[in-house]
A and B are shown apart, each in its own frame.
Chain A
Amino acid sequence: MSGLSIENLSMRFDIPGGGSVQALQNINLHLKEGELMSVLGPSGCGKTTLLNIVAGFLAPTEGKIVMNGHDVVGPAAERGMVFQQGALFEWMNVRENVGFGPRMKGMPKYDMAEKVDHLLEVVGLKDFKDKAVYELSGGMQQRVALARCLANDPDVILMDEPLGALDALTREKMQSLVLKLWKETGKTIILITHSVEEALLLGERLLVMAPRPGRIHKEYRLPFADLGVNADLREVKKHADYNSTREEILNMIWNMEEEIMGRAEESA
């Protein structure tokens, strides 16, 4: 079966002093090839944990991840990752960062240079090839991170709040770029965010998670990502369903947060 399956996934962290945290409980999910899913939820609901298990950095306590028919046992080039800022290699310039994956595979220099040039053009950084990454702005650094991930041609791209540290304007531009790259490359993407707007705009599917234990609360299928590919994101926000869905999700998360606070007060 092609695509990515998350099967009966549970994750429990044992805390050194005794006790444990049920970070994820019985998650089941299937992503078809080329789907873009955004994941939303109050902080601490296990989003990062879920992504780290899919990436292969963590082994789940129960269940498994199946990708294109084989079990995931560790990180691999088929599942690329885009982190929040700070995961670029500052000892390499922009070109070397983007060419890192191909270089590790031993791709011939000439092919690699061509690929890097192309990707830098796609993300709009062609004039910054030889710059050091620390000379770039936060938005540009995330463009490099995207290009670096794409250079490796992964089947699935995992993003953990990739735009979380950017200012509002840069963020909007980057959201358009993500949509454009998604359509052009046809990659499967899982994108974690804590912005409801971002989840709505970018998520063809939108997963709302609930905390303690981390679980899937509700799933949406949304038209906005497809609309956004060819339109201004601000236009998309004027869509009739946009605001009502946004209100609904905001309420949902608001209530979860209230519940967490309530429980905290009870136990205190």
Chain B
Amino acid sequence: MIPALIYLAIFGISFAVVYTIRARRGRNDFTARKTVTFGDESAVAPDRAASIFSVITIFLLWGIFTGSSLVPGWLHMPGPFAGVAEFDYTARNADGDTDTATVTVLVHPIDQKPEPLEVDPGDGWAKNDNALVGIWRSGLVRVDRNDDFTRDDGAEVIEVNGQPISPGGEVRTDFGRIAMSPKGTLNVEPAKGWQMEPIWLPSPEAVFARLTEIAQEGFRGSTLWEHVGYSLMRVIVGFFFGALVGIPLGYAMGLSNWFRGWFDPIVEFMRPVPPLALIPLVIIWAGIGEAGKIILLFLAALWIMAIAARAGVSGVKISKVHAAYSLGASKWQVMRYVIVPNSLPELFTGARVAMGVCWGTVVAAELVAAEQGAGMMIMVASKFQNTDIVIMGIIMIGVIGFGIDVLMRMAERWLVPWKGRG
């Protein structure tokens, strides 16, 4: 809730600031002279400043809610209480005598186990106590255990820091909260603050540190590049075979009634089946090894490429085919010089979609079962609550997926520059 509000606030404020500055400076490009921009699609382009602010905001929110050293300390959300805390309790024994003693609590980082602090027992029948509680945790403290009259003798704690407390009740202190269990044990709960515990959300630098660590030392017997390489290799091999079968199939469907009729039911049925739904069947048939994964990706790419090739063939303008025949081309030449090149833009669009789907599918398949791979890495890490590895893996999967798409688009611009310009 609070992160969402901060996010909206930054969104609004940065918008206001950027537009005010721009209005001061004055713009005079073509769009600025348009009076109708709402509804004019060509007047809407991504505002680069907004993109920059957007990315910065995400890291900023991430940083301030994890106490990251990448953002200045005064921006941090209040962190959890750490260090030494003290509170007094007052106990009353069976005879009605009361006495007060002090509890010293050392709130320590959860990955350390320090020695308890030495405390002087003090005078009176209630003795001073010490306790250890981890940051973000809480701990039960039997304050009566070292007293002259314990719970078994009929003594009970009636006040904390001078405020009355009873089983089920609680008292707020300057460092957090003391609650009393139904049996009368005190539960010390230091304030958790607003920052996220690393086990839920590690800081950006922790994720980055994990990236360098895994890049150097590997994870589960394989280096980071091997994990990523396995995933990519599966995608490329699966896509390659999918295209190898799918493109000729699509061409045949675009050129022959019989092929179109024969394969239409199959393709139209398989098209809406998400490849993820095939994982269980593929595992039953081909096991969890490489073969199963490649068959899965082959199937994922096959229908997409077949449909793209079919669309590419059907999309050829009849006047182009007629022109080629009147220029003396044979059937084979029409295929080679008109139908195939004409279908290339569609094929590229299909290939981009197929690569995206394959990348998503391989990660999902590796989540289910794999020895190596980006998906396997985050799945195993999540079992051990290595949230930093999980987040690092998700970011990497995203970056690689984006990289694939960028590469495909570059190849498209280079290989089919005529796309959309016929």
The residues of A with any CB-CB pair to B shorter than 8 Å are: 55-57, 74-77, 79-81, 83-84, 86-91, 100-101, 104-105, 132, 134, 148-149, 152, 154, 158
CB distance from A71 to the nearest CB of B (A): 17
| Cβ-closest chain B residue relative to A87 | B319
Residues of chain A lying within 8 A (CB to CB) of residue B422: 86, 90, 134
Residues of A within 8 A of B418 (CB): 90-91, 132, 134
Say yes or no: is B146 at the interface (Cβ < 8 Å to chain A): no
Contacting chain A: which of B96-104, B338-346, B382-390?
Answer: B338-346
Are the CB atoms of A91 and B342 closer together than 8 Å? Answer: yes
For B325, the chain A residues whose CB sits under 8 A away are 57, 74-75
- Across the interface, which residues of B come within 8 angstroms of A154, CB to CB? 326
Q: A104-B329, A134-B421 are in contact. Are A87 and B341 (CB under 8 A)?
A: no
Q: How far is the CA of A63 from the CA of B341 in the complex (A)?
A: 37
Task: Please state if B326 and A104 are interface contacts (CB–CB under 8 Å).
Answer: no
Cα of A183 to Cα of B328 in the assembled complex, Å = 24
A104-B317 in contact given A89-B341, A90-B422, A91-B418 (Cβ < 8 Å): no
Q: Is the CB of A81 within 8 A of B328?
A: no
Give chain A residues whose Cβ lies under 8 Å from the Cβ of B421.
Answer: 90, 134
Would A87 and B337 be within 8 Å (CB), given that A80-B327, A104-B330 are in contact?
A: no
Shortest distance in angstroms between B261's beta carbon and chain A's nearest beta carbon?
Answer: 17
- Which of B319, B323, B326 lies in contact with A76, CB distance below 8 A? B326
Contacts of B341 in A (CB 8 A): 89, 91
Asked whether B319 lies within 8 Å of A83 as measured between CB atoms, the reply is: yes
Q: Name the CB-closest residue of B to A145.
A: B323
A83 x B342 contact (CB < 8 A): no
Instruction: Please state if B328 and A77 are interface contacts (CB–CB under 8 Å).
Output: yes
Known contacts A148-B327, A149-B327, A152-B327; can you find 16 more A-B pairs with CB under 8 A? A75-B322, A75-B325, A75-B326, A77-B326, A77-B327, A86-B422, A89-B324, A89-B338, A91-B418, A100-B337, A104-B324, A104-B328, A104-B337, A105-B328, A132-B417, A134-B422
- How far apart are the CA atoms of A143 and B417 in the complex, in Å? 22
Interface residues of B in 20-37 (CB under 8 A from A): none
In the complex, the answer to whether A81 meets B323 with C-beta atoms within 8 Å is yes
Contact A81 to B417, CB < 8 A, known contacts A101-B327, A104-B333, A152-B328: no
Q: How far is it, in angstroms, between the C-alpha of A101 and the C-alpha of B337 when the chains are bound? A: 11
Which of the listed residues A100, A134, A152 has the most CB atoms from chain B within 10 Å of its own CB? A100
By a CB distance below 8 angstroms, the chain B residues around A76 are 326, 328
Closest 4 CB pairs of A and B: A77-B328, A75-B325, A101-B327, A134-B421
- Give CA–CA (A53, B342) in the complex, Å: 26
How far is it, in angstroms, between the C-alpha of A146 and the C-alpha of B341 when the chains are bound? 22
| Given A132-B417, A134-B418, A134-B421, A87 contacting B323 (CB threshold 8 A) | yes
Tell me the bound Cα distance from A75 to B341 in angstroms: 22
A80: chain B residues at CB < 8 Å are: 326-327
Given that A86-B422, A91-B344 are contacting pairs, would A100 and B324 also be in contact in the complex, using a CB cutoff of 8 Å? Answer: yes
Decide if B271 is an interface residue (CB 8 Å cutoff): no
Task: Contacts A86-B422, A87-B317, A134-B418 given; indicate if A57 touches B322 (C-beta within 8 A).
Answer: yes
Measured CB to CB, the nearest residue on chain A to B324 is: A100
How far, in angstroms, from A239 to B374 measured CA to CA in the complex?
82
The 12 listed contacts between A and B (C-beta, < 8 Å) are: A75-B326, A77-B327, A77-B328, A81-B322, A81-B326, A84-B319, A86-B320, A86-B422, A90-B418, A104-B337, A154-B326, A158-B326
Q: With the chains together, A34 CA to B415 CA distance in Å?
A: 43
Least Cβ–Cβ distance between A160 and chain B, in angstroms? 9
Chain B residues near A89: list those with CB within 8 A: 320, 324, 337-338, 341
Residue of B with least CB distance to A82: B323
A105 to chain B, nearest CB (A): 6
Task: Give the distance to chain A from B109, nearest Cβ to Cβ, in Å.
Answer: 65
Complex alpha-carbon distance, A80 and B418, angstroms: 25
The docked-state distance in angstroms from the alpha carbon of A81 to that of B319 is 10
Chain B residue numbers with a CB within 8 Å of A84 are 319
Docked Cα-Cα span, A238 to B342, in Å, equals 47
Give, as a whole number of angstroms, the nearest-CB distance from A106 to chain B.
Answer: 10
A176–B417 Cα gap in the complex (Å)? 34
- In the complex, which residues of chain A have a beta carbon less than 8 angstroms from the beta carbon of B324? 89, 100, 104
**Would A87 and B322 count as touching, CB distance under 8 A?**
yes
Chain A residues with Cβ under 8 A from B330's Cβ? 104
Considering the complex, give the chain B residue whose CB is closest to the CB of A101.
Answer: B327
Whole-angstrom distance between the alpha carbons of A60 and B337 in the complex?
29
Assess the B320–A87 pair: CB atoms within 8 A: yes
Closest CB in chain B relative to A209 CB, distance in Å: 21
* Minimum CB distance partner of A158 in chain B: B326
Interface centre among A91, A132, A148 (most CB of B within 10 A): A91
How would residues 252 to 276 of chain B score, 1 for a CB under 8 Å from any chain A CB and 0 otherwise? 0000000000000000000000000
Of all chain A residues, which has the CB nearest B338?
A89
Instruction: For B320, give the chain A residue with the smallest CB separation.
Output: A87
- A90 neighbours in B (Cβ, 8 Å): 418, 421-422
**Complex alpha-carbon distance, A80 and B323, angstroms:** 8
Residue of A nearest to B417 (CB): A132
Pick from B322, B329, B416: contact of A83, CB below 8 A. B322
B342 contacts A104, CB within 8 Å?
no
- Of all chain A residues, which has the CB nearest B322? A57
CB pair B328 A55 closer than 8 Å: no
Q: What's the nearest-Cβ distance from chain B to residue A134, in Å?
A: 4
